[in-house]
């Protein structure tokens, strides 16, 4: 069995395919890749043992071909190859790779000494296509603006995933991000961070979604992501979270994103370990005054006073504040304030809510 492909094409496929590699030392499959050529369609399959990533390319010349290899050595060899074409040929328990030279990669075998057969859940699943499609551009906004608010620890496991219903929501209990977009029609799902990250590998704009119970599949002409929705959606305190997202604020101002980030970066040098990351925002007619608790660093960002202006002082975690400011896509930050519990940033159909700190002194 042998196939030949342009090196640059295989390199592009490999660069995307390795994003699906789990590399879990306790699960050998997560360090392997299946390479299949069938009817001139080349498919690379990788997994983290829960989600499967299929990268495909049609019009590849060669015989029907199937092999499972260790990802690490093979991907590094492909990335370092500079010849115009790469030829892969299966020879007993070796994969021969011809590019700049000829290299033989030993194939992994099962406990019976036989060549490994990679799981292919897409072929086994009987999925039903949802009526609505989702868009690659929407996924990118989720990864850029919503992901920074995901929980990164497992105190409440459901908060490590995205709540997807009428909108897509992420929270770590201190900050909330909401994108007003419906991904799955009348279905409600909890989507893991790992599964959403894999959707970022897709390059086509239109993505078809198919489901069956907890199984979910995202398909474009050159990529398939197959996975499972997370358990625990009933633990996601959606009603309480929605109350914060829908909270009305009495005042709003707009400041340049880059100016605010530069200020916070400078001020962070003066926020010490005893300050618990806290900074103070004072909204005045002259602008927002941002200072450390000890007032060892103070700056003001001017802005035009709006009709709904009122004086307001609040305290924020500077790192969390910088995180949600960085997540904004607009050049101007629309900052809503006036409530004692939180502030809100609005960027088109994306809303960020950050809980205020309470001074316990």
> Where does the pLDDT of residue 361 fall: very low under 50, low under 70, confident under 90, or very high at 90 and above?
low
Which helix H or strand E contains 279, and what residues bound it?
strand 278-283
Instruction: Measure the CA–CA gap between 216 and 204, rounded to whole angstroms.
Output: 18
> Where does the pLDDT of residue 122 fall: very low under 50, low under 70, confident under 90, or very high at 90 and above?
confident
- Which two three-digit tokens encode residue 236? 């996601």
Question: What pLDDT does 168 receive?
Answer: 98
- Maximum Cα–Cα distance for the chain, whole Å? 78
Instruction: Measure the CA–CA gap between 176 and 47, rounded to whole angstroms.
Output: 30
Q: With contact defined as beta carbons under 8 Å apart, do 176 and 146 qualify?
A: no
> Phi then psi for 160, rounded to 5 degrees?
-85, -5
Question: What pLDDT does 93 receive?
Answer: 86
Instruction: Measure the CA–CA gap between 206 and 160, rounded to whole angstroms.
Output: 26
Instruction: Measure the CA–CA gap between 291 and 246, rounded to whole angstroms.
Output: 29
Question: What pLDDT does 324 receive?
Answer: 95
> Where does the pLDDT of residue 22 fall: very low under 50, low under 70, confident under 90, or very high at 90 and above?
very high
Q: Is this prediction's pTM over 0.85? A: yes
Q: With contact defined as beta carbons under 8 Å apart, do 198 and 210 qualify?
A: no
Instruction: Measure the CA–CA gap between 145 and 59, rounded to whole angstroms.
Output: 37
Q: With contact defined as beta carbons under 8 Å apart, do 271 and 240 qualify?
A: no
Q: What is the pLDDT of residues 206-264, one digit of tens each?
A: 999 999 989 999 999 999 999 999 999 999 999 999 999 999 998 999 999 999 999 99
């Amino acid at each position: 069995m042998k196939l030949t492909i342009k090196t640059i094409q295989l390199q592009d496929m490999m660069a995307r395919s390795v994003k699906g590699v789990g590399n879990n030392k306790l699960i050998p499959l997560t360090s392997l890749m299946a390479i299949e050529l069938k009817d001139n369609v080349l498919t690379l399959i990788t997994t983290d043992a829960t989600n499967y990533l299929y990268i495909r390319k049609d019009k590849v010349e060669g015989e029907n071909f199937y092999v499972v290899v260790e990802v690490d050595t093979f991907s590094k060899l492909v990335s370092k190859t500079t010849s115009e074409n790469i030829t892969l040929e299966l020879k007993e328990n070796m994969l021969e790779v011809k590019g700049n030279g000829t290299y033989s990669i030993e194939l992994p075998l099962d406990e019976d000494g036989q060549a490994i057969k990679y799981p292919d859940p897409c072929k086994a699943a009987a999925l039903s296509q949802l009526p609505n499609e989702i868009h690659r551009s929407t996924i990118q906004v989720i990864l850029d603006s919503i992901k920074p608010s995901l929980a990164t620890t497992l105190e409440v496991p459901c908060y490590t995933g995205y709540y997807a219903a009428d909108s897509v929501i992420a929270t770590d209990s201190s900050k909330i991000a909401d994108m007003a977009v419906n991904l799955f029609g009348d279905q409600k799902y909890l989507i893991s961070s790992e599964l959403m990250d894999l959707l970022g590998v897709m390059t086509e704009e239109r993505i078809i979604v198919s489901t069956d119970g907890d199984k979910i599949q995202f398909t474009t002409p050159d990529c398939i992501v197959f996975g499972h929705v997370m358990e625990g959606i009933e633990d996601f305190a959606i009603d309480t979270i929605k109350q914060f997202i829908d909270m009305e604020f009495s005042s709003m101002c707009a400041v340049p994103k880059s100016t605010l980030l530069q200020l916070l970066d400078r001020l962070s040098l003066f926020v010490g370990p005893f300050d618990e990351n806290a900074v103070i925002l004072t909204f005045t007619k002259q602008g927002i005054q941002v200072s450390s608790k000890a007032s060892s660093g103070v700056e003001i960002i001017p802005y035009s006073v709006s009709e709904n202006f009122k004086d307001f002082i609040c305290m924020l975690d500077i790192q969390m504040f910088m995180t949600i400011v960085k997540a904004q896509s607009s050049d101007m930050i629309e900052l809503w304030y006036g409530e004692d519990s939180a502030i809100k940033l609005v960027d088109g159909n994306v809303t960020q809510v950050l809980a205020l700190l309470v001074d316990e002194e």
